[in-house]
Structure 1
Amino acid sequence: MEEMRVVEVKRDILAGNDEKADAFRAMLAERSTFFADIMASPGAGKTTLLLALIKKLRERGCELDRMGVIEADLESMVDALKIKEAGVTSVELNTKGVCHVEMGMVERAFSFFENRAFDYLFLENIGNLVCPSEFDTGAHCRVMLLSVPEGYDKVYKYPPMFAAVEALIVTKCDYLSLNPDFDMAALKRQAAVLNSGIKVFVTSARTGEGLDELTTWFEGRRHALLD
């Protein structure tokens, strides 16, 4: 009987991806560009939060042409058009069924910016709480969104995502009064178990709650990158 051999393809794929991610991250740092990867399930409010964050950054002096967004979706240009309508340069990245974003995709999307200089670059990742957490996209920080209508129990169902990010942004907190079963304390407690360094923001793009604190955090992360 021939010897059975197991080839760990996933590990090899991730290793190659990580090497590209490190190089990309270093290149952006040299350009003073802070790159954030925003992950969440579909409907959590990624685009809406991005638009609110862009507005706050602009109020604090960041010019629109110093911000860029890579919009990743399976299909369509719906979200990219929303970003462009707000005056921010965006590139639509259609994965054609792939449920995550890899470095090759990021590099190709970034090439369409044609070497434009940004202070902030954002990736709105595929709507998925599983696969995106496994792939390094070259970002300087990774955050995830969890909307109140989704329920707090996602922290128990999708632990790798919570463990992979620097910040958990609870969105649509204006719905808390309509969802009395949402246990914020349990969410924060379990998130800390999975990730002792995680920062939690409770926000609402509709009312503006928590957006100033979140914007200050992003500014601080960029300054930390440049120091």
Structure 2
Amino acid sequence: MDEKRVIEVKKSILAANDDAADAFRAARAADGTFFMDVIASPGAGKTTLLLALIKHLRARGVEALGVIEADLESDVDALKIKEAGVASVELNTRGVCHVEMSMVTMAFEAFDGDKIDYMFLENIGNLVCPADFDTGAHTRVMLLSVPEGWDKVMKYPPMFAAVDALIVTKCDYLPLNEDFDMSRLKKHARILNPSLEIFVTSARTDEGMAELADWVQAQRANNIQ
């Protein structure tokens, strides 16, 4: 009986979160804010990739940008975003391993009604818990860095199945990691998620960033009417 009650509570929490996420997503579509959730393990390069992506969007005339930086503690990444001239809100979860809708709503309100065309959530560095929680995003992407190894697709299948795109980062390290099997990564990722978009990028060399920016802009066009 105890185990059954735990499962029911979890289902109830997720259902309430999903309802709030659907409402938030619809509201952001109505006010013209495209919201993208960026998920990865620690050190995969989330902040660096966002800065490179923002640079490309700005070069195309996009200025109304915002980033929610979720971390267990600190404001290190939020300060990097602010130093680049982009509005940023730090979201400290105080040990919680995922971001829930109540947190997203609170962070969004901290932008004080500023017009934002593109808003990004840099989620907690974790490939487990965030897979279960809808953050109200129109699009979810996950990052996998070359130094981490291709076999993360075998170890964290729910995350690969839950996102719209896989962004392989730090591809400039490929010559140094002979064990990284890109073809096997793509094969196994698309078994889990046949419609998955896959981008191979390097924020350092700019490889793949223009194509990623194209896709992000297309996602906004598809989700914001």
Q: TM-score range by the shorter chain?
A: over 0.9
Aligned-partner residue type, residue 33 of structure 1:
T
1:141-187 Cα distance to aligned partner (Å, 9 max, x none): 00000000000000000000000000000000000000000000000
In structure 1, distance between residues paired with 2:116 and 2:43: 27
Aligned-partner residue type, residue 188 of structure 2:
Q
Q: Which residue of 2 aligns with 1:146?
A: 144
In structure 2, distance between residues paired with 1:134 and 1:46: 20
1:24-62 Cα distance to aligned partner (Å, 9 max, x none): 000000011100000000000000000000000000010
In structure 2, distance between residues paired with 1:204 and 1:58: 18
Report the 3-state secondary structure (helix = DSSP H, G, I; strand = E; otherwise coil) of the residue aligned with 1:209.
coil
Report the 3-state secondary structure (helix = DSSP H, G, I; strand = E; otherwise coil) of the residue aligned with 1:6.
helix
Aligned-partner residue type, residue 190 of structure 1:
H
Q: Which residue of 2 aligns with 1:156?
A: 154
Count of aligned pairs: 223
Q: Which residue of 2 aligns with 1:108?
A: 106
Report the 3-state secondary structure (helix = DSSP H, G, I; strand = E; otherwise coil) of the residue aligned with 1:114.
coil
- 2:11 is aligned with 1:11: yes
Provide closer, same or farther for how the CA distance between residues 4 and 113 of structure 1 changes in structure 2, counting only shifts above 3 A: closer
In structure 1, distance between residues paired with 2:2 and 2:200: 51
Aligned-pair CA distance for 1:226: 2.5
1:58-207 paired onto structure 2 within 5 Å: 58-63=58-63, 66-207=64-205
Q: Which residue of 2 aligns with 1:216?
A: 214
Aligned-pair CA distance for 1:6: 2.2
Aligned-pair CA distance for 1:5: 8.1
Give unpaired runs (5+ residues) of structure 1.
none
In structure 2, distance between residues paired with 1:215 and 1:114: 27
Aligned-partner residue type, residue 17 of structure 1:
N
1:113-145 Cα distance to aligned partner (Å, 9 max, x none): 011111100000000000001100000000000
Aligned-pair CA distance for 1:100: 0.2
> RMSD of the TM alignment (CA)?
1.0
In structure 2, distance between residues paired with 1:101 and 1:4: 26
In structure 1, distance between residues paired with 2:174 and 2:162: 26
Aligned-partner residue type, residue 132 of structure 2:
E
Aligned-partner residue type, residue 213 of structure 2:
T
In structure 2, distance between residues paired with 1:207 and 1:225: 30
Q: Which residue of 2 aligns with 1:37?
A: 37
Report the 3-state secondary structure (helix = DSSP H, G, I; strand = E; otherwise coil) of the residue aligned with 2:113.
coil
Give TM-score, length-normalised by structure 2. Answer: 0.97
In structure 2, distance between residues paired with 1:4 and 1:226: 44
